[in-house]
């Protein structure tokens, strides 16, 4: 059976294909119809999150079995439980099962099945200039939608932590109540979790590929390299591991004496570009890569040293039971 929305979308596409010329009115109508359809698709996946008496934010149904993503700051002052209101009016008690203030992400779980999970895209392919939409509850008003374009991609400093997190900057209008809601691409897929307003007029969102890796669970810490790192961008450097058109990687700031990296010949000042063939522009990606490996497994590291590039093979070490803060 073909839904009304599918017929409207098909009609819109037919108009575009059969029109001898795309007049402004036809193009405007097609864009409006497509935008309306995608918003209607995602609305059931957007929830209202109430955290005590501190106002409300938004959340995205990430898994149909009750997993919901929101911002860490939305649930920062709870005692582990929040009120989650679904689009159909149901009110559920949500438990905060994981939170990462650096990424500004929190994972909630509610006792419900067959929830309408959002479609999530790989935000690592997102480009500056793409059309995006934000859905949230500004000032407590349910399911408001704003639109704009992607204005920038990169890393942003996290206050009071000395660390950075990846972000998407856009000119969608955000207000209190949008936090934790989805940033959508033109296909209605989630490409980010809206987090805050930056510089007074730019919206900042946590990329969906970062959220996806985080929700999958903290990377296994059974293995480690024995290094301390921080993200760096390398303007003007040509590399097979460029990111967003720029070479980027992890500056080695510290090396554990007699650790795996030290034994393999890695030096402080090297820039790690890839591990196991996967680009590592930030520490969370590196931990995700390590989490897929086993202790004593040999992994190739692509490094920039001075003005040259090197490939070094390292045997990963087994982590002691008490976790460390480095990779």
**CB distance 135 to 43 below 8 Å:** yes
**CB distance 241 to 247 below 8 Å:** yes
Query: Each residue's pLDDT tens digit in the chain (327 positions)?
Result: 444 444 444 444 444 444 445 566 665 667 677 777 877 889 999 999 998 766 689 999 999 999 999 998 999 878 778 999 999 999 999 999 888 887 889 999 999 999 999 999 989 889 999 999 999 999 888 888 999 999 998 876 554 444 567 789 999 999 889 999 999 999 899 999 999 876 567 889 999 988 988 888 654 445 788 888 888 887 766 555 554 445 678 999 989 889 999 999 999 999 998 898 888 887 767 877 887 788 888 999 999 898 888 999 999 987 654 333 346
Instruction: Say whether pTM exceeds 0.85.
Output: no
Q: Which residues are catalytic?
A: 73, 104, 179
Q: CB neighbours of 269 closer than 8 A, spacing ≥ 6? A: 251, 252, 305
Nearest CA to 148 out of 174, 124, 166, 181 is that of 174
Give the phi and the psi of residue 303 in degrees, each rounded to 5.
Answer: -120, 150
């Amino acid at each position: 059976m073909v839904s009304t929305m599918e017929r409207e979308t098909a009609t819109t596409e037919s108009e575009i294909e059969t029109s001898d010329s795309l007049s402004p009115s036809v193009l405007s109508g097609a864009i409006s119809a497509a935008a309306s359809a995608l918003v209607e698709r995602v609305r059931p996946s957007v929830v209202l999150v109430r955290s005590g008496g501190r106002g409300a934010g938004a959340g995205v149904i990430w898994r149909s079995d009750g997993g919901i993503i929101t911002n860490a700051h939305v649930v920062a002052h709870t005692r582990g439980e929040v009120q989650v209101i679904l689009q159909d009016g149901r009110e559920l008690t949500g438990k905060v099962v994981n939170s990462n203030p650096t990424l500004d992400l929190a994972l909630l779980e509610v006792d419900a099945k067959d929830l309408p999970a959002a479609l999530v895209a790989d935000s690592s392919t997102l480009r500056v200039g793409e059309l995006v939409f934000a859905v949230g509850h500004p000032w407590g008003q349910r399911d408001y939608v704003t639109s704009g374009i992607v204005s920038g991609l990169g890393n942003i400093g996290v206050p009071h932590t000395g660390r950075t997190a990846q972000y998407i900057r856009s000119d969608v209008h955000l207000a209190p109540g949008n936090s934790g809601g989805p940033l959508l691409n033109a296909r209605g897929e989630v490409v980010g979790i809206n987090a805050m307003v930056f510089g007074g007029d730019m919206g900042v969102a946590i990329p969906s590929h970062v959220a996806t890796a985080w929700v999958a669970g903290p990377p296994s810490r059974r293995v480690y390299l024995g290094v301390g790192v921080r993200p760096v961008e390398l303007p003007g450097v040509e590399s097979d591991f460029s990111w967003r058109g720029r070479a980027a990687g992890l500056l080695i700031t510290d090396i554990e004496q007699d650790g795996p990296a030290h034994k393999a010949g890695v030096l402080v000042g090297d820039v790690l570009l890839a591990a196991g063939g996967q680009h590592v522009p930030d520490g969370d990606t590196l931990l995700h890569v390590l989490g897929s490996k086993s202790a004593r497994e040999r992994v190739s590291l692509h490094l920039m040293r001075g003005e040259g590039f090197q490939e070094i093979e390292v045997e990963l070490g087994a982590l002691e039971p008490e976790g460390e803060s480095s990779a």
